[in-house]
Structure 1
Amino acid sequence: NFRKQHLGFIFQDYSVLPTLTVKENIMLPLSVQKFHKYEMEQNYKEVAEALGIYNLGNKYPSEISGGQQQRTAAARAFVHKPTIIFADEPTGALDSKSAQDLLHRLEDMNKQFNSTIMMVTHDPSAASYAERVIMLKDGDIHSEIY
């Protein structure tokens, strides 16, 4: 229950289900947690609008761009308003423009939903969006930037 209620995940490879629409992909965590339909619709609308994909709700992943698929994955991570979002190289499979767009939107959503985002990245540009950066070397904390 802790994982379902308090954690959200964004993966490098989108991890959206190809047989579900954008809306169904985003609402999946709410279905699993048995949210009421009205609350599901409200949460979906809020995150989909924040990520600029509300108008794509009836499309399938194969019909949208990689950047839109990653925003779908981000919306799915935020839709149940978790305390912590784990993002594993969320911009790794995106071109630079889509990556910047996603990072701006994640930054906005971090403030809007007051969720902590723990992001793993090798991209200094992506790391620059963080309030705190912890650098690891050989499995140990090498340095920190606040």
Structure 2
Amino acid sequence: MTVIRSCMILALICSLSWAGCSKPDPFHTLSGNWTLDRYVDIDNETVSPAPGTLPRDVSLTFSDNGRRGTFEGVTATNLLFGSYKLFDEQGLETTEINGSLRGEPDWSDDVWPSLESAIAYLITPDFELEIYFDEGRSKMVFVRER
């Protein structure tokens, strides 16, 4: 009887250990390196792609545990970093945002306020990251860097 109980306890410990080491759902994390590809005004159905004239791509690296995370990256002329929370139903809240404040070209000037007003995200089947802002009326679309 004690052998059976010991085996059951060992099996329980192993299964709990394995469950704790499982990878997060790739659709419930922003973790990774992402490049901003375009803005989409959902209400007006307009797309604003990245202009080819920027000094560099807008690129962000996100790292989270499925609930809380941090990001850092670059806009056309500035450094950017901060933190965020993820919620059920793909909810997103930027809790802190900081960085340098040099003048930005118009297109990349929208990155900071868009992240500040972020309310939701979606990882598409094509593995694009969509961050919804402006009360869900607009979105930023990022492509995963390889």
Same-fold status (TM-score > 0.5): no
**Greater share of strand:** 2
What range is the shorter-chain TM-score in?
A: under 0.3
Q: Scaled by the length of structure 2, what TM-score is found?
A: 0.25
**Structure with greater helix share of residues:** 1
